[in-house]
Structure 1
Amino acid sequence: METAHVGERRDPAATAAVTPPGEGARLGRPPLTERRKAATRLEIAREAVRLFADRGVAATTADDIAAAVGISQRTLWRYTPSKELCVRPLLTYALDFVTALMRSWPHDRPLWEVVAGPSSAGADTPADADTQALRDLVVLTRTEPGLRAVWLQVHHDAEAAFAEVIALRTGHGPDDLEPRVQATVLNGALRIAVEQWAWSPDPRPAPLSRTLHRALGIARSGLSG
């Protein structure tokens, strides 16, 4: 068994085996092997969040996470380059799905419908346990800098993907001002809505989908005053 350390990271030479952000977002059904890998990543994320919430990130080792999932530390490193990044699948679930829907969305219908509609990934599509795990994780981002960095990086990556989709639909380049601003507004509304929902002191907050609808409405109305 390899020795685990707080904040430990995998050998960079092996990091290429980890699926890059966003590559798993498909509307079609992925092959069985990919589904199994995705299920394992999600299980790792769930157990990591549970341990982080119980002990804190610093006091949780890679060995702890691997043991909770029932795999070796070596196997864990095949799925993630660091213990903090174990949680990424819980954060990218909805954003990856929204990006995939945006890519296939009819050009005669506004993109806002993708995230504002009742069937969007922004609604409470994960299982109840994963919705609670997501809330626990976003709560942890307030006090755990490493997890906060992962949360912000996930949205940074999503923003670039949103800008690319918007640019393709509007005839702009992905680095043009218009799609970048629009992607930032959309991305910011999604991020703040999830934080508002997760950070609510109410033990049973309003559904995430309702908070997303409110945030998107505010974003569409633009600046006031």
Structure 2
Amino acid sequence: MNVTTARRGGLLSTERRTQPGPDPLPLSQRRREALHLDIARAAVTLFTSRGVTATTGEHIAQAVGISSRTLWRHFPRKESCVRPLLTAGLDAAVAALEHWPANIRLVAYLESLQEHPALATPDPAVLDLLRLARTDPDLRAVWLQAHDDALPVIAGLLARRSGGRPDDLDVQVHAAIVNSALRVGAENFALHSASTCPTATPHLLRALRLAVQGLPY
């Protein structure tokens, strides 16, 4: 049986699992993704210990064991090195919505996933990154851009559910509400609840419940 490598968990997780499916990604792509996550983790570790300003691209490259030239071939600036940690979690959240049944409301469906074995605990590196992004404008720009890039995908999923079009005003507004709820829920969890709660799922669900009240999803 063929397996495909997939993100597992939710918005704050970057773990992977294998599941039945088509042929896996090409080895070169899997290696590239693995390198990107290694770079992202090294960047967060250095940003946390040294500070963002004091950390250079050369420091990040050295921590990963690659040349500075290789690092800059993959990322345009040091702050963008963290993006793979953020997009991994968003990809997982969007992938979960891809399987949203037509007869179940959004929050009820996400609640049904809480006990799924694929759900993982939050990645400590992501939590550290969100705390850093609270005060560093360049890291926050990367975080906000990751969510902005996810917005059309979420709009497409909601449009398919509602029978509308992704560029309809109401669909775009609803997508922005869901997207913002995920973002604010993740930030709030990282800043206030991560030390006492083993998983972010209840926190994110609460944010979504507040966001979708009155929406047709």
User: TM-score of the superposition, structure 1-length normalised?
Assistant: 0.76
Check the 8 A contact 2:83/2:146 in 1, yes or no. Answer: yes
Quick check: 1:132 aligned with 2:124? yes
SS of the aligned residue for 1:173 comes to: coil
- Count of aligned positions: 193
Quick check: 1:51 aligned with 2:46? yes
Check the 8 A contact 2:114/2:201 in 1, yes or no. Answer: no
Deviations 1:95-144 (A, max 9, x none): 112223333544444444564442699x8536x6xx11011000001111
| Matches of 1:190 and 1:142, distance apart in 2 | 16
The aligned counterpart of 1:204 is 196
The aligned counterpart of 1:34 is 29
Check the 8 A contact 2:181/2:207 in 1, yes or no. Answer: yes
The aligned counterpart of 1:165 is 157
SS of the aligned residue for 1:178 comes to: helix
Quick check: 1:86 aligned with 2:81? yes
The aligned counterpart of 2:94 is 99
What one-letter code is carried by the residue in structure 2 that aligns with 1:39?
Answer: A
Q: Greater strand percent: which structure?
A: 2
Which runs of 4 or more aligned residues in structure 1 lie more than 6 Å from their structure 2 counterparts after TM superposition?
A: none
Quick check: 1:191 aligned with 2:186? no
Unaligned stretches of 5+ residues in structure 2: 1-18
The aligned counterpart of 2:147 is 155
SS of the aligned residue for 1:199 comes to: helix
Check the 8 A contact 1:98/1:115 in 2, yes or no. Answer: no
With CA pairs under 8 Å and 6+ residues apart, which has the higher RCO, 1 or 2? 2
Check the 8 A contact 2:107/2:205 in 1, yes or no. Answer: no
Unaligned stretches of 5+ residues in structure 1: 1-26
Check the 8 A contact 1:197/1:211 in 2, yes or no. Answer: yes
| Matches of 1:148 and 1:115, distance apart in 2 | 27
